Every structure is written in C-alpha cells, then in structure tokens.
Amino acid sequence: MTGAKRRPEDLAILGGDPLFTSPRPIGQLDAPPVEDYLRILRRSFESRRLTNDGPAVQELEQRLCDWHQVGNCISVANAALGLTMLMQLASRGRPGDVAMPAFSFRGLPHLARWAGQTPLFCDVDPATHTLDPADVADRMTDRTNSILAVCNFNDPGDLEGLGELARRRGAPLIIDSVYGFGATHRGRPLGGFGTAEVFSLHATKLLNGFEGGYITTNDDALATALRWQRNFALPGLRPDGLELDHVLGLNAKLNELHAAMALAGLDRVDSIIEGNKARHQAYLEQVDPIPGLALMPCDDSRDRRGFQLAILDVGSPWPLTRDETLKLLRAEGAAVGPYYSPPLHVADARGESVARLPVSEVLARRFVQLPVGELVSLDDIRAIGALLRSVSEHGDAVRARLGRV
C-alpha cells in the first residue's frame, strides 16, 4: 500500500501511484487450512469415489439440512444450474415466463431462457431492493409459471407477501438465496421458505466450495425429482409414483473436491461473519461522515445477517458521478464494480420495448460494490476512507483535472 492521497495529483487516475499494489477484491475468498481440506478429501480419494454422491457430498448435504432446518438438501455443480432446474420443473413443460426482479444479478434472465422460459421483469422495494409483491401481482399473467425472488445481503425481502401471492396465483416461489447464507428471517434460518431456495458455494461467497451450490426444500417429491434431474434424468433411475414426463435432465452433480472444501469451511462461518461485520463497521466509520456518501445499512438487531457485501451509495454533494467514482477506485487497485447496473429490463431488452421500472432505474445509477472479504484488512478500509475524504475535500480540483467542470 502506498502513501496518503493528499493532493489531486496523488490520485492514480491523475498519474499518481496506485493506493494498492495488488487488487483488493469484492468477494469473500475465505479458505480453511489446507490440512483440514485434505483430511476430508482423503476419504473420497482412498475410496476412489470422487463424484456421484460420494461421502463428502452426502455429509455436506446432511449438515446443510441441519444448518437450514429443512428436510432436503440437493447439492449441484453451481447455483445457476440449481435455479435453471427449478424454473424448468416449475414450468411443467409449458412455455411461459418467470417473474423476477429487474434490479438483480445479470445472469438471471439467461437462466430463465435455458429453462425454456421468458423473463418477466418486475420492480423492487426502494428500501430492501427485493421484489415488490404488489408490482409482481400487477405484471403476472396466466403465462407466469413461477416467481423468482432474490434475497439481498442485508434483507431477504417480503417473503411472506411473495409466498401468499405465489399460493394465490398457483406459481411456485423460487428464492435465490445466494446472499442469504448465514442469515435468518423472523428468527428462522433461510432455506425453508417458498417452494425451494438456492445457495452458492462459489469462492466469492460466504461458504467457499471453490464452485458449486445447493437447493433446499421441504417438498420431498420435488427433492426426488431434482436428484433425478441432476443425474441426466436417466430412464433406468426414474423415480416411481411421480409425474416427470416434462423433466429435462442434465449433469449437475457436485463432485467431492468441491464438497470437501465446503465442509472444511462450514465450521468457520461464525468467524467469517464476525470478520465481515468488523469490516462493515470500519466502512461505516470511514464513509458516513463524507458528504454525499453512505454505506448501505445492514441491521442484525432482530435477525442474523452475513454482511457479505459493502455497498457504497453515491449521491449529492459528492463531487463525482457513480461511474467516475468507479474509475477512480479501480485506478487505485480496488477491484470495485457497479451494483446491479444497468437494470435487467434495460440490459436484457434484446431490441424489445422496455417497460418503465422506476425504482430499479434509479437504484441502478447509485451504487458501488466496495472491496470485502478475507483479503481486505481494516487498514485497507481506512486507506480507502482517507482517499475518499481527500477527493471530497478537493472536489472542484478533481473534477477540473478529470476534464469536467
């Protein structure tokens, strides 16, 4: 880490040395001691059962059932496949659409299309940034085969309202809980809400399995169908007593290398969350006194939160636009990104006319995803805070040097 940025010419974007000589990431990137990982993996290696429900996968699924207090956990090669499988099953082979938030992860509409469905973009609540049940109800039609809700890292959203809407309209509620791991909702662990929930084991998430994911559900018949679906839906393994003619199979099995990594990290979750919360508090102390900047709040006074992200809200009188702030921080070696921008109904329009979703459109212009995780220290956060204070104090000069008066 280089010295303080006291003058505009010290900024890397204006020719100064970068604040960080190696990038500071925006993902968790936690890893257990390698000896712990290898100890778990050795059982699989010695049995030569490295996939197809090996011992690590079986143990992981059982422990995650206990963690989420659910009846079934179905591990998959990644969370994207889990979401695709659920949307395909929910369609029952019928063409139609999936209601989903427009302010969300860029890949979601692609997954709907892989499942043979069309994305139906809906607006979000301005405070929680999660699906607004009233807006979903207004946009749903007889073609809507399922509702895909996305839990935010700081609030799961109105799961009760969405669940009631799903029951009333006969459309299964699928919940993308990638940022919900480790959190509770009204005192219950996420995992048992809706028809099913999907979690990620990607290295950037709170529970690191290198890659991978899993589905939780209390619907035993759905769990049976998912286990068959993830293994090619082979005719010889077809479950009895279920209506499965519409199921499309694929290879979505989780292997032992990934399951062992997740198992090694499961006992570390509490300490990871404690570290995340300490970094979040450090960002609060650095950012909130700066005019025009605020950290998106994350309240754990009533329910547990994982504090997986640190999201900077950029507004007036901060001297730079959101996009200029991104460029400024990237030049300093902070691997930052915009938070859900542009909104999906704009990014995925494919030449179609775009309905107005005013809340999503406003939110998509405001936020920066700041460095977080095990590779970001409290000193790093203090350095980012000092950088932002310097830019605030020299705002006019910085704008002029960037060619914008």
pLDDT by residue for the chain (405 residues), tens only, comes to 777 888 999 999 999 999 999 999 999 999 999 999 999 999 999 999 999 999 999 999 999 999 999 999 999 999 999 999 999 999 999 999 999 999 999 999 999 999 999 999 999 999 999 999 999 999 999 999 999 999 999 999 999 999 999 999 999 999 999 999 999 999 999 999 999 999 999 999 999 999 999 999 999 999 999 999 999 999 999 999 999 999 999 999 999 999 999 999 999 999 999 999 999 999 999 999 999 999 999 999 999 999 999 999 999 999 999 999 999 999 999 999 999 999 999 998 776 667 899 999 999 999 999 999 999 999 999 999 999 999 999 999 999 998 864
In angstroms, the CA 345 to CA 121 distance is 6
Q: Do 88 and 20 belong together in one domain?
A: no
Task: Tell me, yes or no, whether 122 lies in a domain.
Answer: yes
User: What is the SS3 assignment for 69-91?
Assistant: CCCEEEEECCHHHHHHHHHHHHH
Task: Tell me, yes or no, whether 353 lies in a domain.
Answer: no
Q: Do 112 and 138 belong together in one domain?
A: yes
Q: Are the beta carbons of 113 and 58 closer than 8 angstroms?
A: no
Q: Do 283 and 211 belong together in one domain?
A: no
Looking at residue 405, its pLDDT comes to: 44
Q: Do 91 and 183 belong together in one domain?
A: yes
Q: Do 16 and 76 belong together in one domain?
A: no
pTM: predicted TM-score of the whole model, two decimal places: 0.96
Task: Tell me, yes or no, whether 227 lies in a domain.
Answer: yes
Its domain, for residue 179, covers: 34-266
Domain termination residue (choose one: 216, 231, 266): 266
Q: Do 89 and 127 belong together in one domain?
A: yes
Q: Do 257 and 317 belong together in one domain?
A: no
Domain termination residue (choose one: 220, 251, 266): 266
- The single-letter DSSP state of residue 98 is E
Task: Tell me, yes or no, whether 13 lies in a domain.
Answer: yes
Q: Do 228 and 103 belong together in one domain?
A: yes
Q: What is the DSSP string of 127-152?
A: TT-SB-HHHHHHH--TTEEEEEEE--
Strand order in the sheet with 144-150: 72-76, 213-217, 196-200, 173-176, 144-150, 96-101, 117-122
Q: Do 131 and 253 belong together in one domain?
A: yes
Q: Which helix (H) or strand (E) holds 358?
A: helix 358-363
Task: Tell me, yes or no, whether 359 lies in a domain.
Answer: no
Q: Do 287 and 255 belong together in one domain?
A: no
Q: Which of 193, 133, 184, 177 is nearest to 158 (CA)?
A: 133
Torsion angles phi and psi, residue 276, rounded to 5: -60, -45
Q: Do 87 and 229 belong together in one domain?
A: yes
Q: Is 191 left (phi over 0), alpha (psi -120 to 50) or beta?
A: left
Task: Tell me, yes or no, whether 363 lies in a domain.
Answer: no
Task: Tell me, yes or no, whether 22 lies in a domain.
Answer: yes
Looking at residue 383, its pLDDT comes to: 97
Which CATH number fits the domain that encloses residue 384? 3.90.1150
Number of domains forming the structure of the chain: 2
Place of tokens 């290696």: 45
Task: Tell me, yes or no, whether 46 lies in a domain.
Answer: yes
Which CATH number fits the domain that encloses residue 251? 3.40.640.10
Domain termination residue (choose one: 266, 283, 316): 266
Q: Do 157 and 275 belong together in one domain?
A: no
Looking at residue 349, its pLDDT comes to: 79
